[in-house]
Chains A and B, each alone.
Chain A
């Protein structure tokens, strides 16, 4: 049987069948893999929060990022994270699943003037209380996000950054240890102002020995991603300013 593939009716039918077939394949796949994907995302969030507060398996030698393995992360998360708070309209409540709050959605609500929830995590490591703030912002191509762990003097104890689609080898390096480690020890305060930490070019301090300048050394070739990180930190800590003022040691 010879098919006349040039007929309009054939073209329309083919297109319709193709859409249905492809659509069902993808829908079936998405729904059958969803539980696994959701679980992986949950583990990743726990890993990232723990990473920011310094609970990770980083060795002293190589500069690679090593999370707590997924089979242990659930238990470690409950050990180290003492409280999960949700700040909504100035009121603070406890919520054991605060880490699942999608910050992107909450910030969109804020923009539309709707009520929004801000999650915050209190961890304890080496009998020191750490306040871990989630962050969300934009890089050059797409979203960037992360967590920043502060102590009660507003000094950074660790950060974690990640990104959706920054340039490999350039902006994508914000999730490299040599960039993230620089933030540790910096203060987010400038006097009493929540100034954040600038990602500065040419601050002549590549080893980041000066910890009181609210600056870390930028990544070469990644100016816009770096600026995005700086803006993200500043905006995020300012969202939590009211809460942080209540726990800050003055």
Chain B
């Protein structure tokens, strides 16, 4: 195949599994805790990060030979912040409803350590095309975990998915609730995300023992 060499494909696929930014590199945990109480927010965040990370990686990669190393972190921060503000302003002008949904995430995207981490570790040393793929891959890896966590937290905590009641009505006691089932209020508070992420890490490492660090 012509579009992606094997190495290029691994740039996208590795972060989804054995080099996942959240479960293996343990980056970006803060936003994984903050916004995964419902599935919709997780999806919106995942899409925004894919966009910002792919574009940011390309911009940093193009600038990699002229960025002074002493102030490279500040330059990276400016690039992320500028991209996010541009997206925010354009949405405010043309997609006002969507921009209101995203409003709460803007700050979380700018300070997402996965983005800074990829700029620093990858884009500064590689060409734009590879950086673009790396950005997409890592953002997808981040998004997948976010969506898994959001799925379980919304299902178990609120009994809904994307806002639709899938388990019946908890107040009128229909569906599953008729059997005495109750929503688990713990799932909607942030510490629950830590436990779900922990479980994902556990499952992933027990399936692939090579990922377990030696002491």
Contact = CB atoms under 8 A, between A and B. Distances in A.
Given A14-B66, A206-B171, A221 B94 contact: no
B101 to A, nearest CB: 9
A206 B103 CA distance: 30
Interface in B106-148: 107
Interface of A: 3, 5-6, 10-11, 14-15, 18, 22, 25-26, 29-30, 33, 36-37, 40-41, 43-44, 63-64, 162, 164-170, 172, 206-207, 220-221
A63 B163 CA distance: 9
Nearest to B68: A11
A165 B89 contact: no
Nearest to A217: B171
Contact of B154 (A40, A169, A220): A169
A30 B35 contact: no
Nearest to A23: B82
A220 B96 contact: no
Interface string B27-59: 000000011111001000000000000000000
Nearest to B154: A169
Interface residues of B, number: 37
Contact of A33 (B41, B92, B154, B185): B92
B5 interface: no
A168 B93 contact: no
Given A168-B35, A172-B104, A220-B188, A40 B96 contact: yes
A18 B68 CA distance: 11
Contacts of B67: 5, 14
Mostly, the B contact residues are helix
A54 B70 CA distance: 58
A44 B85 CA distance: 21
Contacts of B82: 22, 25-26
A26 B36 CA distance: 31
B46 to A, nearest CB: 13
22 contacts: A5-B66, A5-B69, A11-B71, A14-B66, A15-B71, A18-B75, A18-B78, A25-B82, A29-B86, A33-B90, A36-B92, A36-B93, A37-B89, A64-B163, A165-B107, A167-B104, A169-B35, A169-B36, A169-B188, A220-B188, A221-B185, A221-B189
A14 B171 CA distance: 61
A11 B66 contact: no
Contacts of A5: 65-69
A25 B85 CA distance: 11
A37 B93 CA distance: 5
A15 B89 CA distance: 24
A168 B68 contact: no
A165 B104 contact: yes
Q: In the A-B complex, list the 8 residue pairs whose CB atoms are closest, starting with the nearest.
A: A169-B37, A168-B41, A169-B38, A36-B93, A40-B96, A11-B68, A33-B93, A165-B104
A41 B103 CA distance: 14
